[in-house]
Amino acid sequence: MDDLKCGGIAVIDFGSQYTQLIVRRLRDLGVYSEVYAYDGGVERINRHQPAGYILSGGPNSVYDPGAPGLPSFLLDADRPVLGICYGMQLLTDALGGQVAAAIEREYGPATITRTVRSPLLDGLQPELKVWMSHGDRIEALPPGFTSLAQSANSPHAAIGDLKRQAYGLQFHPEVQHSPQGSAILRNFVFEICRCRANWNADAFIDEALGGIRAQVKDERVLLALSGGVDSAVAGALIHRAIGDQLTCVFVDHGLLRKGEAEQVLRVFRREQGMNLIAVNAVEAFMSELKGLTEPEAKRKAIGRLFVDTFSREARRMHGIRFLAQGTIYPDVIESAADSASAQTIKSHHNVGGLPDDLHFELIEPLRDCFKDEVRQIGLALGLSEAIVWRQPFPGPGLAIRCLGEVTWERLEKLREADAIYIDSLRQAGLLRDGTAQSFAVLLPVKSVGVMGDNRSYEEVLALRSVTTDDFMTADWARLPYELLAKVSARIVNEVAGINRVTYDITSKPPGTIEWE
């Protein structure tokens, strides 16, 4: 895989909430980039021979005791550097300039005016809208630097030493609110660092196939297929590489949405021709969930039984050396953030807690990819949009959307109502573009209604649709009233046992996306 990764950009993280965004913007430009902890060590940071470095922002002031420092090798690096916000202040401080608390902090939109021509801001408007978020600012430039742009509160909103190829931006080019931000990053990577735009789904697949074959040789691989995007794409990729040496196990726990279990079998067994073992564990899961109403108790019971069921299948198969997982890059970054430094990146075990007697080596072909890249790879491998654009779905499935006790009858009710909702959103063109996640929740509440001439006393359903980029925060989707009216009428008419429909208008925070 090394060729494709060589000559990209190393993004050095100082704790900014936007660091992943920088990497995503660069990858969108076709340039491979990775996040490294600031104290990750020069060898690690340079392992793919980056063509340049970007220093992220961060919450500290450079003068805070114990604030993250500039890795010293950067002072003599013969490659271009771009510091963003805290990264710029670190660079300034280390190279002999001066940083101080600004009299007026700048948070939010600002306009900067270019003062000097430079390769970093070439081709852009003289005035740019940008997003600021800083308390400190540059008071005196280091020797060799000139100011390239200013804002009302920052005389040095962009700085550069063109000879040294070191640049700094007081604002965040990586966020949406800096509309020309990608153009600035494009200048940095192509005009200053001379990167090639070679990172795309086809190139990734080409290299990944070789990498998987070299790792697996003639051994066998096992994959737990959930039907979710990541395991589906990992499965399709590994299957393309090694064909029947891959065996997939799909545990049907009865907690999937309407038609999903059938879809997994159809797509992966029939269309993709994969070696797929389907385990019908519905009864076992139902009896494990009997009487449980507390959300964490449900999650634990499901997790435990899943591992037991999967392990039993795995033990039955002899001679399997590798366990494949659909780990993706955000999982890897999160795991790394747990450790004191990124040098000990752990594997993120999706099939967590496998018993000790099952010794597998891990194979994680998507661990360098973001979700949107995984989708591109899936499409390039011939998976349908229905699989690739599937909405996120929690591991414990409908059990945590069926509030109160999970019974088969209630699950079926929820499945029907959810299918009506999703179908209506799809028809209205709101499933992929208007909402990030949409689903129905069956509440442990009954309400009185009237149907025909009769009183009804049935269950209540909540509909939930959210918009979000990262699922860390979310807002409730402003769906058209007409659509909600139609969905509500259909559900109450078509699903026996539900007589009232509500729409959840809670954002996250303070709510969560799921109800349990």
Q: Give the residue with the Cβ less far from ligand XMP, 61 or 437.
A: 437
Least distance CB 392 / ligand XMP (angstroms): 4
Least distance CB 428 / ligand XMP (angstroms): 21
CA distance 168 to 182: 15
Least distance CB 32 / ligand XMP (angstroms): 27
Q: Give the residue with the Cβ less far from ligand XMP, 115 or 391.
A: 391
Which residues contact ligand XMP by CB under 6 A? 299, 392, 394-396, 437, 471, 508, 512-514
Active site residue 174: yes
Please count the residues of the chain.
516
Active site residue 193: no
Least distance CB 226 / ligand XMP (angstroms): 9
Q: Following DSSP, what letter does each residue of 425-492 receive, concatenated?
A: HHHTT-TTTT-SEEEEEEEEEEEEEEETTEEEEEEEEEEEEEE-SSSSSBEE----HHHHHHHHHHHH
No. of helices (H) and no. of strands (E), the chain: 15, 18
Which of 134, 156, 172, 348 is the catalytic position? 172
Which of 174, 288, 458, 459 is the catalytic position? 174
CA distance 63 to 405: 55
CA distance 99 to 332: 34
Q: Give the residue with the Cβ less far from ligand XMP, 186 or 258.
A: 258
Backbone phi and psi for residue 333, each to the nearest 5 degrees, phi listed first? -65, -40
Decide: 159 and 168 in contact? Cβ < 8 Å.
yes
Q: Give the residue with the Cβ less far from ligand XMP, 164 or 299.
A: 299
- Structure tokens that stand for 142 in this block: 């280091």
Least distance CB 323 / ligand XMP (angstroms): 18
Least distance CB 512 / ligand XMP (angstroms): 3
- Structure tokens that stand for 90 in this block: 């670190």
Query: What three-state secondary structure class fits 84?
Result: strand
Q: Give the residue with the Cβ less far from ligand XMP, 280 or 512.
A: 512
Q: Following DSSP, what letter does each residue of 292-345 receive, concatenated?
A: --SHHHHHHHHHHHHHHHHHHHHHHS-SEEEEE----HHHHHHHHHHSSSGGGP
Q: Which residue has the tokens 């909405």?
A: 391
Active site residue 85: yes
Q: Give the residue with the Cβ less far from ligand XMP, 222 or 513.
A: 513
What is the set of active-site residues?
85, 172, 174
